[in-house]
Structure 1
Amino acid sequence: MDIIEFIRALAALAVTLGLIGLAAWAMRKYGPDAIGRVIAARQDRRLRIVESLALDPTRRLVVVSLDGEERMVLLGDGKLLDWVPRPRPVVELPAPASEPVA
């Protein structure tokens, strides 16, 4: 192998690795997450994820807001495990007024 061919192969390797790095950077900046952020910026969406927490590699706890009402969802193994409604405040009704006995 001639020295010129060796330098040419190293240059081709450097260009290839540079293009892979550039593609990785572009995907982080302009990839699916960036598209999701643009869509989430719209305020007329009914459904949105408020918060997400990974419990372990197979399960995730997600707080979802639907029409202003928040729900907690436990996801795992590709299926919905639980749908927990947010507790509603207890509304106390006033006691009925007793009528005087004549």
Structure 2
Amino acid sequence: MDLDQYIRFLMALVFVVALIMVVAWVMRRVGMADGTVRGRARQRRLSVVEALPIDAKRRLILVRRDDREHLILLSANGDLLVDSTPAGGFDSALAGAEAAPADAPRPAGSDPR
């Protein structure tokens, strides 16, 4: 092969790679990177509020869905729902606990502490 053919091959390769990068950038800007088109007017119902790695195999994830927050433990052995509370954090949970009467009946077998 001539030097001219090598240069053509290299230029075609650079052109194809640049074209792939431009298409990927446009798809990311439009919102099609994850395979779906983002609706601008649609309100997102699900979000990850916080993630905390515990060790190499376990992680705590705080997920908000609509008006509730769910604390989920992800591990190699399986996933576990640790807690599920109304969204609003500690203050709203504390207010809900204060509103509940202290002498409310407890389920059988629960610890009174």
Shared topology, TM-score over 0.5?
yes
5+ residue gaps, structure 1? 96-102
What SS class does the counterpart of residue 25 from structure 1 fall into? helix
Q: Deviations over 1:22-74 (max 9, x none)?
A: 23323432322873x538x524x7x5225132516654433233452222112
For 1:15 and 1:7, the matched residues in 2 are separated by 12
What SS class does the counterpart of residue 75 from structure 1 fall into? strand
Shift of 1:2: 1.1
Matched, 1:91 2:99: yes
For 1:78 and 1:28, the matched residues in 2 are separated by 34
Give the number of equivalent residue pairs.
91
Residue 74 of structure 2 aligns to which amino acid in structure 1?
L
Shift of 1:80: 1.4
5+ residue gaps, structure 2? 86-92, 104-113
For 2:97 and 2:49, the matched residues in 1 are separated by 22
For 2:64 and 2:50, the matched residues in 1 are separated by 12
CA-atom RMSD, angstroms? 3.6
Matched, 1:8 2:8: yes
For 1:38 and 1:16, the matched residues in 2 are separated by 31
- TM-score, normalising length from structure 1? 0.58
Matches within 5 A, 1:22-61: 22-29=22-29, 30=31, 31-32=33-34, 35=37, 37-38=38-39, 42-43=42-43, 47-55=45-53, 58-61=57-60
8 Å Cα contact 2:70-2:81 kept in structure 1: no
- TM-score, normalising length from structure 2? 0.54
User: 1:62 — aligned with what?
Assistant: 61
What SS class does the counterpart of residue 32 from structure 1 fall into? coil
